[in-house]
């Protein structure tokens, strides 16, 4: 039987060979039959002024940003290389962890020599702070390890000295920090405690006989953990510790401790270990620190909130421990502001690469023997990228608004900044991670190459969702603040004022039952539905908590049991705040193409946010038919934004050199001649 089968197969194969036409003698792989790269600019037009749009998106200090871009591009320290006929600058991720750390420090010293950090701590006022934000954002576009190291040194260590300290600390530390004579780190997080700062276990006592504080790590869970700059470079640390005076715990306080001498040797009574290799940010030397009864001068307590006199008496102008704890944490808001901002620039980079690629890469044809279709001409590809593009635009306006509020902050606005920055930090960093994942998939296998940046950025930016406050905890903070504001206003029978809740002083908006295209794109409808969602969720949340409290449960436990409502409320609050910043920006524009395009982007942001939130259907604000209307309108908007896709990412203002080869001539970049 097997012999018969073998003969039959041989017969079939022989017939196939004999009947096959002879190969053509003139067949060759000429350029005419090979894929050719066609720059998107040849076929895509700019329907609006991209320079004007960039001014809106960057918001401030455009010339300073471009100066720093140029400064990086002209130095070989930033790994200049030519690929596919274009020059690119990006970190070399083939380097070892130790090499990445060393080159990150060399880049910082290069920027220092060129005056990039001038005034970052010694100058004050909104202009100085906005300049610092702009340059910091550019550093992050190049390499998040670079900006993270700068963030530890300037925004954590430096700002702690600036805001927690007083004149004696400013005079001693700020200029030396700005000049990198002092290299600082911020030792708050511990092995056993991260977001729960109140629970940290490091203990500092006071010795009145020597007028010194004594810092100790009483157990392994109290070791300082994930401390950026601690493993190699920092010589001083801000130490967040419990302060015990005469056996009484006065709560969390802030100290300065020297951990290395000027030669880099670890100081006595200090132990430091490396946290090791990470999924990203390997240019940052994260370390672990133990304090073995380390003695520091009494003057090293940062005493803007509280002090210990030479005889050991504890004094503070803020008597309430909870308020004192809040005062210690308030100055750290700048960290959440910069994290939110850098997340959006990361999303911009990913979208710029993915959309440029989708405007030159083709796949399959829709007709027999027809030409292959551009990726972005597929409705499914538009649906993947263009809503994320619209969200990134909206969030750019949101973070610019947050920066402006922050640099002009007053004691009266600090609470609002704290709440809004918490919501923005969570929502924007989650958005960045989702965007990078979608962009990675949208460029296919090319997303796996680190030189194309998008895939690698996921590992670099993943940490943002948990550091400077776990995102889920920050969203709980938002809902609790809204709860407190609601209860306070109702108890005092006062109108709502602040946190964007003023709309609750007006009658509840009524939504139309039939949602036409013009209705869905109407800014007033969008505002009404976002306000209605927030209002309803806030009322439901407070009602559920009150009901549980009425049954004898504590308020905190009642919050925990209503965590789903809490999450929905925080998201509704944050998305409404983002929408309002777009509406405000749009209202300031004169009639014209930029305003028209921004209107389309705003509608896309509003409707995709509604489509993705099941609470609107869950609580009956929208019917099933309404949800279908929203979904169809999102698809229409994708089609209308498609012709503007290139212009929208070009408006980001990110130089070509900071993108990746896949965003340009990907054929030439991968040619044999480019090896």
30 is in an annotated binding site: no
- Interatomic CA distance for residues 241 and 85, integer angstroms: 54
- Interatomic CA distance for residues 675 and 500, integer angstroms: 56
Q: Nearest 5°: phi and psi at 166?
A: -125, -170
Q: Nearest 5°: phi and psi at 409?
A: -65, 150
Q: In the numeric block, which tokens belong to residue 240?
A: 């967040």
Quick check: 158 and 177 in contact, CB under 8 A?
yes
Query: Which regions of 97-178 does DSSP assign to beta strands (E)?
Result: none
Q: Which helix (H) or strand (E) holds 367?
A: none
- Interatomic CA distance for residues 461 and 251, integer angstroms: 32
* Torsion angle defined by CA atoms of residues 439, 442, 444 and 446, in that order, rounded to the nearest 10 degrees: -40
195 is in an annotated binding site: no
- Interatomic CA distance for residues 403 and 133, integer angstroms: 8
Find where tokens 């022989």 sit: 14
Catalytic residue among 178, 201, 468, 485: 468
- Interatomic CA distance for residues 380 and 376, integer angstroms: 8
**Per-residue CA distances from 78 to 125, 139, 453 (Å):** 31, 11, 15
Instruction: Give Cβ neighbours of residue 34 (< 8 Å, ≥ 6 apart).
Output: none
DSSP string, 50-79: HHHHHHHHH-S-HHHHHHHHHHHHT-GGG-
Q: In the numeric block, which tokens belong to residue 294?
A: 């380390």
DSSP string, 483-507: HHHHHHHHHHT----STT-GGGGSP
In DSSP terms, which residues pair with 290 in a beta bridge?
A: 271
In DSSP terms, which residues pair with 294 in a beta bridge?
A: 215
Tell me if residue 319 falls in helix, strand or coil. coil
- Interatomic CA distance for residues 198 and 331, integer angstroms: 16
Tell me if residue 454 falls in helix, strand or coil. helix
- Interatomic CA distance for residues 564 and 192, integer angstroms: 26
Q: What is the DSSP letter of 283?
A: T
Nearest Cα to Cα of residue 233 among 358, 146, 342, 338 = 146
Quick check: 413 and 386 in contact, CB under 8 A?
no
Find where tokens 């896309």 sit: 604
Angle subtended at Cα 190 by Cα 184 and Cα 195, rounded to the nearest 5 degrees: 100
Q: What is the DSSP letter of 28?
A: -
DSSP string, 524-546: HHHHHHHHHHHHHHHHHHHHHHH
- Interatomic CA distance for residues 464 and 340, integer angstroms: 9
Residues 148-169 as b/e (b if ≥16 CB within 10 A, e otherwise) read: bbbbbbbbbbbbbbbbbbeeeb
- Interatomic CA distance for residues 211 and 671, integer angstroms: 69
| 52 catalytically annotated | no
Q: In the numeric block, which tokens belong to residue 496?
A: 């709502």
Q: Which helix (H) or strand (E) holds 316?
A: strand 314-316
Tell me if residue 623 falls in helix, strand or coil. coil
Q: Which residues contribute to the annotated binding site for FAD? A: 189, 228
Q: Residues comprising the binding site?
A: 189, 228
Instruction: Please list the active-site residues.
Output: 468
């Amino acid at each position: 039987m097997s012999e018969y089968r073998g003969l039959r197969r041989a017969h079939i194969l022989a017939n196939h060979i004999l009947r096959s036409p002879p190969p053509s003698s003139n067949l060759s792989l000429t350029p005419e039959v090979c894929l050719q790269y066609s720059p998107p600019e040849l076929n895509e037009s700019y329907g609006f002024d991209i320079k004007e749009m960039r001014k809106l998106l960057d918001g401030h200090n455009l010339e300073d940003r471009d100066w720093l871009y140029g400064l990086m591009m002209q130095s070989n320290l930033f790994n200049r290389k030519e690929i596919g006929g274009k020059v690119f600058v990006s970190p070399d991720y083939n380097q070892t962890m130790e090499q990445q750390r060393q080159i990150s420090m060399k880049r910082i010293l290069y920027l220092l020599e060129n005056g990039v950090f001038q005034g970052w701590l010694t100058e004050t006022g909104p202009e100085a702070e906005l300049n610092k934000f702009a340059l910091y954002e550019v550093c992050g576009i190049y390499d998040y390890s670079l900006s993270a190291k700068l963030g530890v040194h300037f925004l954590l260590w430096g700002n702690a000295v600036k805001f927690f300290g007083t004149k004696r600390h400013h005079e001693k530390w700020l200029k030396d920090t700005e000049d990198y004579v002092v290299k600082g780190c911020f030792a708050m997080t511990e092995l056993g405690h991260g977001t729960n700062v109140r629970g940290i276990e490091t203990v500092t006592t006071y010795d009145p006989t020597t007028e010194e504080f004594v810092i100790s790590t009483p157990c392994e869970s109290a070791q300082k953990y994930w401390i950026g700059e601690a493993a190699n470079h920092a010589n001083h640390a801000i130490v967040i510790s419990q302060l015990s005076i005469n056996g009484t715990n006065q709560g969390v306080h802030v100290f300065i401790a020297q951990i290395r001498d000027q030669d880099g040797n670890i100081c006595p009574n200090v132990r430091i270990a490396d946290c090791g290799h990470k999924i990203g940010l390997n240019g940052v030397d994260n370390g672990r620190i133990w304090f073995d009864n380390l003695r520091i001068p009494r003057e090293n307590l940062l005493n803007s909130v509280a002090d210990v006199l030479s005889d050991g008496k504890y004094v503070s102008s803020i008597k309430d421990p909870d308020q004192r704890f809040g005062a210690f944490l308030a100055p750290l808001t700048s960290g959440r502001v910069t994290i939110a901002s850098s997340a959006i620039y990361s999303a911009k980079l990913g979208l710029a690469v993915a959309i440029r690629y989708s405007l030159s890469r083709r796949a399959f044809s829709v007709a027999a023997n027809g030409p292959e279709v551009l990726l972005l001409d597929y409705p499914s590809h538009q649906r993947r990228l263009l809503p994320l593009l619209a969200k990134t635009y909206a969030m750019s306006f949101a973070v610019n608004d947050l920066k402006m509020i922050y640099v002009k902050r007053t004691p009266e606005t600090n609470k609002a900044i704290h709440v809004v920055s918490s919501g923005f930090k969570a929502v924007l960093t989650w958005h960045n991670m989702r965007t990078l994942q979608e962009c990675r998939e949208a460029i296919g296998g090319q997303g796996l190459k680190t030189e194309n940046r998008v895939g690698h950025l996921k590992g670099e930016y993943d940490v943002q969702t948990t550091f400077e406050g776990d995102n889920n905890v920050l969203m709980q903070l938002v809902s609790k603040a809204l709860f407190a504001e609601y209860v306070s206003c109702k108890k005092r029978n006062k109108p709502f004022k602040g946190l964007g809740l003023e709309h609750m002083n007006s009658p509840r908006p009524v939504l139309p039952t039939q949602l036409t295209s013009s209705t869905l794109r109407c800014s007033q409808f969008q505002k009404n539905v976002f306000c209605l969602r927030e209002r309803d969720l806030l009322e439901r949340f407070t009602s559920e908590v009150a009901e549980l409290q009425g049954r004898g449960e504590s308020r905190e436990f009642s919050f925990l049991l209503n965590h789903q409502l809490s999450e929905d409320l925080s998201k509704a609050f944050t998305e409404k705040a983002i929408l309002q910043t777009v509406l405000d920006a749009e209202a300031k524009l004169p009639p014209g193409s930029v305003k028209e395009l921004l209107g389309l982007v705003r509608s896309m942001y509003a409707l995709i946010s509604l489509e993705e939130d099941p609470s609107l259907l869950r609580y009956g604000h929208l019917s099933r038919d309404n949800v279908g209307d929203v979904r169809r309108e999102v698809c229409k908007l994708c089609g209308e934004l498609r012709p503007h896709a290139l212009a929208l990412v070009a408006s980001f203002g990110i130089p070509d050199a900071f993108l990746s080869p896949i965003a340009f001539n990907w054929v030439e970049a991968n040619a044999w001649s480019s090896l």
